[in-house]
Amino acid sequence: MEFFSWAMTTNYIPYIISITALLLLLEQISYLKKKRFLPGPTLVVPFLGNVISMVTNTTKFWEIQSSYAKSTPLGISANYLIGHYIVYIYSSDLSHKIFANVRPDAFHLVGHPFGKKLFGEHNLIYMFGQEHKDLRRRIAPNFTPRALQTYTNIQQRIIIKHLKSWCDKSRGNSIPLRILSRDMNLETSQTVFVGPYLNEEARKRFNTDYNFFNVGLMALPIDLPGFAFRNARLAVERLVQTLAGCAEESEKKMKAGEEPTCLIDFWMSENLRELSEKPFEYSYREFGGHLFDFLFASQDASTSSLLWAITLLDSHPHVLERVRKEVANYWVPENDAVITGEHLREMKYTEAVAREVVRIRAPATLVPHVAGVDFQLTENYVVPKGTIVFPSVFDSSFQGFPEPDQFDPDRFMEREEDRVYKKNFLAFGAGPHQCVGQRYAINHLMLFIAMFSTMVDFKRDRTDGCDEIAYVPTIVPKDDCRVFLSQRCTRFPSLD
């Protein structure tokens, strides 16, 4: 009997091998049919595609994909990742075409190639049409001058606290700033968004879960126990639940007529005002999900920009000196005063520096979308339904601008290149999903540049390749921005 079973099994082996080979061949043919004349690898590993090279050396993977796209006048290239056909967009014009066509019958913004599994289905970045417009309208009061001033007061207290800590840690030694900067930004985001509603224990859990999420973003999308992607997905669920609780507490406070002290208060206050005029349905869970969207959008992108600001100011001392002179006209740390919104509006050069940092090192280099239908992208090429499309805002930043590889804040001053080459400045996106919090992001970067430059003397601990780009998942200096720090001002201000 055992021999008979073995013989039967052996007889099936050639069929199994043949069927497997046929499926792999069909997969390869499907990829080549979709790819057509686009540049990109001709042969891909079955199912996995080139995901291993993307995960093990993300920087090199996207550099190669960009070089493929630049090799053709169309400015697009193709590849294959874990059963998904992908198209990479180098051309600014084609990136705009994608951003302008985010709708059910065209492209769906996903934020991450496997974002729906991580963030959930009902999410700001997945919304379309009137529902999306209504939500953005309700979000708008979160970024009025009054709200932004409330946030800048919070941001400055936290920046001062962390800069003092960084100088204490350095003490003649160079220290890497990536994790320290991320921790500062996480505290900033938590406090600005939901500050009064998180106790110390909740903040610790929040930090732990956000770290799980960050690790999962760069991991293989294997949703099984013990894998980083599963840990990230579960962490997001816990984070959203925590933020939902903050929304509920904020609603009670705003109903009692108290003044807003953080973003969720401004949002909830506007929500209650609109409800009194025209009732609509909402849930705390929805608020929690949208707050997490804000956290995701602001946290790692801001960390990236702060680190690149330090590296670029260090390598351009004349820019640093101009920033210090401008800031001194409006703010002196020893006076224990805050930098106001009016001050920020007057600091034209510091804002130009911030915008040039974002241009030359766009933190979120790619903005993944999924084609909901076959879409005519160019006269000769149709993007097949289900394709993950990657418009590169990083590549766009080097198109059009004169001497684009040069760090030159003056391009945003008298030359007004942000207006002349507006279509190529895509760090905050374009179209219906353009970043609603970009003024907040620029303010935060300006505050950090102004305060860091004024209160700290710094010098990069330069090594070979230290300023090369690394993905984590936003881009950062390869050495995690290792710097010598010391206190520059006679004392750190007290804003309590």
Binding site for heme: residue ranges?
435
The span from the CA of 288 to the CA of 283, in Å, is 9
Q: Are 358 and 475 in contact (CB under 8 A)?
A: no
Q: Tell me the Ramachandran region of residue 163: left when phi exceeds 0, alpha when psi lies from -120 to 50, beta otherwise.
A: alpha
The span from the CA of 50 to the CA of 157, in Å, is 45
Q: Residue 261 has which token pair?
A: 């002290």
The span from the CA of 136 to the CA of 481, in Å, is 35
Annotated binding site: 435
Q: Tell me the Ramachandran region of residue 384: left when phi exceeds 0, alpha when psi lies from -120 to 50, beta otherwise.
A: beta
Backbone angles phi, psi at 389, to 5 degrees: -105, 130
Which positions ≥6 away from 72 have C-beta within 8 Å? 38, 39
Angle, helix 284-315 to helix 178-194, in steps of 10 degrees: 140
End-to-end Cα distance, the chain: 84
Q: Distance from CA of residue 197 to its chain's centroid?
A: 25
**What is the enclosing helix (H) or strand (E) of 80?**
strand 76-81
The span from the CA of 215 to the CA of 325, in Å, is 40
Tell me the CB-side half-sphere exposure of residue 170, using CA atoms within 13 A: 24
Q: Residue 411 has which token pair?
A: 């391009």
Backbone angles phi, psi at 235, to 5 degrees: -65, -40
**Would you tell me how many other CB atoms lie within 10 Å of the CB of residue 314?**
17
Backbone angles phi, psi at 363, to 5 degrees: -65, -45
Q: Residue 414 has which token pair?
A: 């008298």
Q: What angle do CA 69, 296, 469 make, to 5 degrees?
A: 45
Q: Are 304 and 475 in contact (CB under 8 A)?
A: yes
**Would you tell me how many other CB atoms lie within 10 Å of the CB of residue 251?**
19
- Which long-range contacts does 412-416 make (Cβ < 8 Å, 24+ apart)? 412/351, 412/352, 412/355, 412/356, 413/348, 413/349, 413/352
Q: Are 309 and 354 in contact (CB under 8 A)?
A: yes
